[in-house]
Amino acid sequence: MHFFEYKNGQLHCEGIPIYQIEEKVGTPFYLYSYNTLVRHFTVFNNAFEGIPHLVCYSAKANSNLALIRLFINLGGGVDVVSGGELYRAIKGGADPKKIVFSGVGKRGDEIEYALKAEILMFNVESSQELQAINEVAGRIGKKAPISIRVNPDIDAKTHPYISTGLKQNKFGIDILRAPLAYRMATQLPNLKVVGIDCHLGSQIIEAEPFMEGLRKLKSLVEDLRNEGMEIQYLDLGGGLGITYEDEEPPHPVEYASTILEEIKGFGCTLILEPGRVIVGNAGILVSRVLYTKENEEKRFVIVDAGMNDLVRPSYYGSYHHILPVNEEKREEIVADVVGPLCESSDFLAKGRRIPRLEPGELIAVMSAGAYGFSMSTNYNSRPRVAEVLVRDDQMFVIREREDYEDLVRGENIPDFLTRP
Ligand code: LLP
């Protein structure tokens, strides 16, 4: 469900025709629908009503301050994986007691920052990390709340780059070794065990892996309770998939109801870390067709957004619908939609059946709200694009387009290179 629709032959975001936004900000730009974001978060959050729960929006999916703030206003917490994301969460106004910190490689300074901010808990991914957190906490006189991220060895049947819950993945502590890690944690004086955590992967389109993960976690929690440990929080991570092309993931309400059934009365506050399912279909990338060309074998549509702006197609071979902003009927062609970067991997779509696009017209790359802007780079010295939020018939530039000055900020030419 989203509020990007054709009205009178023009693609709109909520109440505004997209071409009118382009007239103000130029191309390319990311465009988010406020009412879609609110709806997605609210539906997800309400689906867990009836049990104590906390939805920690996974900032990595889209870490714009305005979006973080929006979810905080709706009662959300934040899942962060770096000092930078923690900074954004705090700057966005998050209650530190609703922040969880995951990631296999937390540095000492990041641990210290999170301890001083007094976050809800660290999701710890190795025994050495337990020791590191204990050491930093001791040094600054804090007690660190921790949960252990367990690797349950479950195949989430998703792209290998975004599967995280298998033994072969770097994430978490093997479920068989987890009890040992918990015992170690209880022995370390500056740690307080508060929870258990797992995250199976991303763009998961079946409910079963989540259920399997939950069952394994519950059984471990029972063992830990028998050893006298108090596990207050059970964090099931994120990962619920969305429809990009023709996938049929469980609806959040369906996903929640199976989880609820399994966890009701278990005595833990459930934490969830959704990213994609909240923002994925609430955002698009708008770009302009620059040129078209063809040879005996292929047609190319060259647009002004590329792999630096949206890397998902080239990196994961992922699919994003491409729509002309002007709906006008025309013949269909099969073409590669490519960007301006100097790499053959720079494409937004390959061998795609699309309406014949003309130079100068605008296209919308759909379902780009998650891992779109947040994975964008300056490759080929391309300024990062603007981000716009639309609410009803109002638009807000929530991130200015970068300029050439931004590209060289912080770079210096040493004196010896400029001396004659
Ligand atoms: N929690 C943890 C610990 C995670 O690692 C992730 C995603 C999430 C939550 C949120 O998962 P989601 O609900 O968004 O599936 N760049 C890739 C996706 C990478 C996901 C990494 N971790 C993509 O564009 O498909």
Q: Which pLDDT does position 336 carry in this prediction?
A: 98
User: CA neighbours within 13 Å on the CB side: how many for 39?
Assistant: 13
Question: Does 238 contact ligand 1 (Cβ within 6 A)?
Answer: yes
Q: Is the CB of 199 under 6 A from ligand 1?
A: yes
Cβ neighbours, 10 Å, residue 188: 18
Quote the CA–CA distance of 360 and 344 in Å, as a whole number.
23
Distance (angstroms) between ligand 1 centre and the Cα of 174 equals: 20
Cα of 386 vs centre of ligand 1, distance in Å, is 23
- Per-residue pLDDT at 168: 79
Q: Around 100, how many Cα atoms within 13 Å sit in the side-chain half-sphere? A: 33
Bridge partners for 57 per DSSP:
78
DSSP type of residue 251 = P
Which contiguous run of DSSP H or E holds residue 234?
A: strand 233-235
Using alpha carbons, select from 38, 67, 124, 111 the residue that is nearest to residue 387: 67
Beta bridge partners of 201: 163
Nearest ligand 1 atom to alpha carbon 315? 24
Task: Compute, in angstroms, the gap from residue 301 CA to the centroid of ligand 1.
Answer: 30
What's the DSSP call for residue 275?
A: -
In Å, how far are 145, 309, 342, 348, 383 from 380, measured between CA atoms? 43, 11, 8, 17, 9
CA geometry: angle at 178 spanning 175 and 181, to 5°?
160
- Tens digits of pLDDT across the chain (420 residues): 789 999 999 999 999 999 999 999 999 999 999 999 999 999 999 999 989 999 999 999 999 999 999 999 999 999 999 999 999 999 999 999 999 999 999 999 999 999 999 999 999 999 999 999 999 999 999 999 999 999 998 988 777 777 777 777 888 999 999 999 999 999 999 999 999 999 999 999 999 999 999 999 999 999 999 999 999 999 999 999 999 999 999 999 999 999 999 999 999 999 999 999 999 999 999 999 999 999 999 999 999 999 999 999 999 999 999 999 999 999 999 999 999 999 999 999 999 999 999 999 999 999 999 999 999 999 999 999 999 999 999 999 999 999 999 999 999 999 999 998
- Grouping H, G, I as helix, E, B as strand and the rest as coil, residue 158 is coil
275 lines ligand 1 (CB under 6 A): yes
Provide long-range contacts, Cβ within 8 A and 24+ apart, for 73-79.
74/38, 74/41, 74/42, 74/45, 75/45, 76/41, 76/45, 77/120, 77/271, 79/238, 79/273, 79/275
pLDDT of residue 222: 98
Report the nearest-CA residue for atom 6 of ligand 1: 238
Please state, as a whole number, how many other Cβ atoms lie within 10 Å of the Cβ of residue 334.
Answer: 11
60, 204, 235: residue to mutate for ligand 1 pocket, most atoms within 8 A of CB:
60
d(CA 213, CA 153): 9
| C-alpha of residue 238 to centroid of ligand 1, in Å | 7
> 103: alpha, beta or left, given left = phi > 0 and alpha = psi -120 to 50?
left
pLDDT at position 189:
98
Rounded to the nearest angstrom, the distance between the alpha carbon of 360 and the centre of ligand 1 is 35
Residue 60 dihedral angles phi and psi, to the nearest 5°: -65, -25
Burial class (CB in 10 A: 0-12, 13-18, 19+), 74: middle
Q: Which of 81, 70, 62 is nearest to 281 (CA)?
A: 62
Question: Could you list the active site residues?
Answer: 342
The whole-number pLDDT of residue 161 equals: 72
Question: Measured from the CA of 61, which atom of ligand 1 is nearest?
Answer: 14
Structure tokens at 314: 């080239």
| pTM across the whole model | 0.97
Residue 352, beta-bridge partner list: 335
φ, ψ for residue 158, nearest 5 deg: -130, 180
pLDDT of residue 159: 78
183 Cα to the center of ligand 1, angstroms: 29
DSSP 29: E
Any ligand 1 atom below 6 A from CB of 276? yes
The dihedral over CA atoms of 250, 246, 14, 301, expressed in degrees to the nearest 10, equals 150
Q: Which of 149, 202, 244, 307 to mutate to test the pocket of ligand 1 (most atoms within 8 A of CB)?
A: 202
Token pair belonging to 147: 């949960």
CA nearest ligand 1 atom 16, residue: 371
**Contact assessment for residue 244 and residue 320, using Cβ atoms and an 8 Å cutoff:** yes
**Pick from 59, 149, 160: nearest CA to 103:** 149
Q: Is the CB of 369 under 6 A from ligand 1?
A: no
Q: Please tell me the distance from the alpha carbon of residue 168 to that of residue 147, in angstroms, as a whole number.
A: 21
